[in-house]
Chain A
């Protein structure tokens, strides 16, 4: 339905944030914002759904914790029973304190790595994937708001011009953009 794409370029994160708030207040939809670094509070200003990555982090941490217990029990108690610090009890629970660092590390390891992998999958990123960035300068020092619209170009342009904008471009949509 949207026929045109508007690119609004900013040179400062505070200006960008103020603009996003203004655009949202005027009830326009923002398609995407490209920034060179994470801008604090941008997700809330854009009205994005709250991330569920924290829940996955907890679940992955639990998996890592359980994996560490299974692994150390298998290695040190079952497969090749070890005398740990002069405590040859061959029981996991009685030698538990010496496994705590491993349990801790694997919890962190699983939580961190699986969280990153989840993030990549969710963002549809993989090695050698071609970049979808409409404006490479946003990886340097520019901030870009992308909006799709089909209504009154004048009104929207006027709204954007009222913000502290650096540059505005309007394209006609040729192919469907990403997603």
Chain B
């Protein structure tokens, strides 16, 4: 049985404290009026956003153009107001991306766990407690993300432009979608998804723990049925979640495989997190029965799902690039012109690096290589979510600075604390699982 160490507590609380200060600083320094915003922009010097403006095809921009064409204020004011909204969005976006990313790591792990349960996998039961530890973050993560979404609907920020009735009034495309993109319906859907996922996590954990003390395998069977049902529920709600929480920040644009794309990203992050925490616990002398064969399988999943992610990313990119339809291609034009480094850099961290490092069968058994690749993958998938949200909310006013790093640190700290706290609650070995013996004897 694992007990949470003092070091873990110190590290997580320090990260949370520094992260909180970073986020607070972000909110404090964000402009609160157009005048402040202009002062910030002026302090950049001559170069920067204004030269890029001609190529800026951000939708929010377009909607503000439309809005202002009705008044006679002219382009300059519209632009300044636009930049003001982007700058004031930045701390919110930093908070939202980090909150969402860590929540989705937990959700990806939950999906992986459900797949192991539903497929009656023989190799993985020995890792169930680690997975359940990571999904322990699901509930706090859900609450945080939901609170942020509620604050968005209260117009405290402009992350989701379609929530602004002023914008919708002058935008025919959003008007046509307003039946779905409606604040109340949006929150109701969020409650529906979050409840479903958390209920599954609650009962699956309950049955998993009950199985340890049981004489028969009825809990195991219940978990099997529950997991199969959850997966059907999950793949639909996950897809809708990705439209709601991520794709709708660009309300004109849509992609039919977006749900899969987001799923691949959270899935590989979740698997990577399982591998990292397993290696950490093993290095502390726990999980004696976990050996190279289990790490080999996790690393195979990291490798495979990284390639799967790249496949989906490219499928989305190539069709839009090839067809070159203006309302679709603008999504990538914004990213390539304003976000060249994160946009192309993420391909290196999420595909090329793990592909070459983890290709060799022997390397999948070397812990330090898995840890190194895992950290690169996690960083890369943070960038992936960054690229999904930021271009629509802060446009070319992006920077990975204090609020972004503060957001990552705060949620890393919270995540570490919650996960290790959950792991320390029960024995690390699911001793009653009927497949445990097969898992112990597993040879890849």
Seen from chain A, the residues whose Cβ lies within 8 Å of a Cβ on chain B are 40-41, 54, 58, 85-87, 97-98, 100-101
Contacts and interface: CB of A to CB of B under 8 A. Distances in A.
A100 B324 contact: no
A54 B323 CA distance: 38
A100 B361 contact: no
B92 to A, nearest CB: 33
A68 to B, nearest CB: 15
B318 A58 contact: no
A100 B318 contact: yes
B359 A97 contact: no
A35 B26 CA distance: 67
Interface string B420-434: 000000000000000
Contact of B443 (A41, A58, A85, A100): A41
B310 to A, nearest CB: 10
A61 B360 CA distance: 14
Contact of A54 (B317, B324, B361, B443): B361
A163 to B, nearest CB: 20
A97 B361 contact: no
Given A58-B359, A100-B314, 13 more contacts: A41-B443, A54-B360, A54-B361, A85-B323, A85-B324, A86-B324, A87-B324, A97-B317, A97-B318, A97-B321, A97-B322, A98-B322, A100-B318
A100 B322 CA distance: 12
Counting from the closest, the 5 A-B pairs by CB-CB distance are A85-B322, A97-B318, A97-B321, A86-B324, A98-B322
Interface residues of B, number: 11
Contacts of A98: 318, 322
A97 B360 CA distance: 27
A40 B317 CA distance: 40
Contacts of B317: 97
A48 to B, nearest CB: 16
A101 B361 CA distance: 25
Interface string B291-330: 0000000000000000000000010011001111000000
A39 to B, nearest CB: 13
B365 to A, nearest CB: 13
A98 B324 CA distance: 12
